Structures are given as structure tokens and as C-alpha cells.
Amino acid sequence: MLLIDGSLLEGGGQIVRSAVALSAVTGTPVEVTSVRKKRARPGLAPQHCAAVRAVSLACDARVMGNTPGSDRLSFTPGSIMRRDISVDVGTAGSIPLVLQAWLPVALVKGGSLQVQGGTEVQFSPTIDYFTEVFLPALGPAGAGVEVDVVRRGYYPAGGGVVRVAVEPAGCPRIAARDTGKCGIRSCSSGLPGHVADRQAESARRFILEETGRDYPVSISRYPGPGTGSSCTAWDGAKGSCALGKRGLPAEKVGETAAAGLVAALRDGGDVDLHLSDQLLLYLARGGGSYTAPGFTLHARTMCWLLSLFGLPVEVSENGLVEFRR
């Protein structure tokens, strides 16, 4: 049983999600203690429990402590199987973060997952970042992942639904490079149609003025149980997103997403800061290399966690940060 102190470094849900994913793909039983100990609300939150449940169903694991508020989780994996799974976060908790935990396991044998929760929530990538930035960075393995956004879900109502089908791809070798694909996606639910239009136009105009490039725009308006909006902008393996909120002009939402992308492009490196840690599990297992403009706390946490599983990643810092395996 591998013991993991969940309060170290980033000390959040990333440790739990990544630990159970690594446990499943390596066959290593784990126990995570002091889960989210330093957070305002320590212990597992519903979205972490949903992620653990999705992974456990994909590998027939024995699990103890997977309840909201629990500060200790025991996870003993069985054999990974191709399964069709459905989980409900029960709140507006992040669907993309549940998918991040399940996907490395699903790539082994394939399968499908339907998740109900939040498609765009704070402190999480949007579902559009997942589809347009993260999945393409996995190369051919990402191309074998089909994502159907059935319904958008925003805080606090949640109620978003995403279905994902995966074909087996094993451990993809990571060589995140510019795919040449770029775009802006503006979304809304339960709001007047012009909100998504204004977000998109603001983002498009900002990027055009700053880079001289006119990005293609797509707009999605979904009926849903709540109200909310989001804007995601991407260019290759770099992206940025922003969420709407009451009192915040739609133009500001679009501009924020666009400004984040422009900054990421100017920072250099193959990938943006957020993608740099999201790819590390795949890099450690499949090999490859990529550069990022910095070494974030989330990336440091992933490198530490991977080393516990005997999957060290080489990190070199010389202006840009290079991750290599």
C-alpha cells in the first residue's frame, strides 16, 4: 500500500484524482491521508468522490472513505475493463476534472462515461478547454476520444451533462506542438442570445488587435437548469477561459479569455501553464517532452506524485521549463 500525504505541495483535489488514476494504471494500492487538509473545507468534496467512483468502476477497485468530508481514502485497484459508466457529481462540481481522472484509465481498454455536474466552473478548465486544448495535445490518443456536450451546467445549479466515448490507445507519447488550430467558443445557458454574441465579438476583436489574426468563432446556446456563460479561446496547445457572473459585462468575459490566451502565446513554450501539469501523467507513462513558460505548484505536485509511483519526470529550467521522460 503506497501512503500519500494529501496535504503536501498543492494539497488539493489534484492529488486525489491523480493518485487513483495512477493506482489504476499501475496496479498499485494507495492510501491518501490528510485529504485537502489546508482547505477552508477540508476533506473530499462531491466532485472528488465522483472522480474516484468513475475510476473505481473502470478498474473494479475496492474503495474505503470515498464520502464527502472524508480526510482519508483507500483505493485498491482491480483489473481495468471496458465499461460504460455513469456518475452524478450531485452539485455543480467540475465535469472536466472528473474526466481528467477517468481518461488515463479508459485509454487502456476503452469505454464510455456520462457525467452530470458543472461543465464550466471556477478553478477548473472549461469543457471546451478539455476538447480543444487538452485532447489535441494527446495526439492520436486524443483523436480517439469523442465528447458530446449534452447540456451546459453552471454554478450553482449544475445539471450539465457530458458523454465521452474512448477507444483504447494505451500510453500516448507526448510531443505537444502547435496544431495550427485556433478558435473562440462563447457559450450561455438561460440568458438572452446576445450575451454569447457579445462575449465572442469582444474576444475576437481583442485577439485581432493584439495579434493581427482573426480567429474563427463558434457560439453555443444551451437550455439548462441554471444560468451562466463562458468564453474559451485557444491556439494550438494553449488556451484560456473566463466565466460570466451577475454584474460582469459580457464584453469583459470575452476580453478576459482573449487576454489570457494572448499572454500565454507571448510567454513562449509548447504548452500553457495549466496544460503543463495536465499532461505530466501521460508524459511519465508514454514518454516524450514539451516546454512550458514556468514550473507551477500543480506541476511540482504532479512530479512529486509521479516519483512516488516510480515514474520520475526530468525537469530542466533554463528560461523555459522542459519536462522530459
- CA–centroid distance for 157 within its chain: 20
Check 48, 194, 274, 298 and give the catalytic one: 298
CA–CA dist 40, 11 (Å, integer): 12
Partners of 158 in beta bridges: 154
- In 3D space, the residue among 163, 149, 159, 59 whose CA is nearest the CA of residue 112 turns out to be 163
Active site residue 48: no
Longest dimension (CA), the chain: 55
For residues 187 and 222, the answer to whether their CB atoms sit within 8 Å is yes
List the Cα angle 94/97/102 in 5-degree steps: 130
Cβ atoms of 51 and 20 within 8 Å: the answer is yes
DSSP string, 233-300: EEETTEEEEEE--TTS-HHHHHHHHHHHHHHHHHH-SSS-HHHHHHTHHHHHHH-BEEEES---HHHH
Specify whether the CB–CB gap between 43 and 68 falls below 8 A: yes
Proportion of the chain in helix, strand, coil states, percent, rounded to 5 = 35, 30, 35
User: From residue 38, how far is each of 50, 65, 263 by CA, in Å?
Assistant: 21, 19, 31
Query: How far apart, in whole angstroms, are the C-alpha atoms of residue 254 and residue 233?
Result: 9
Which residues are catalytically annotated?
298
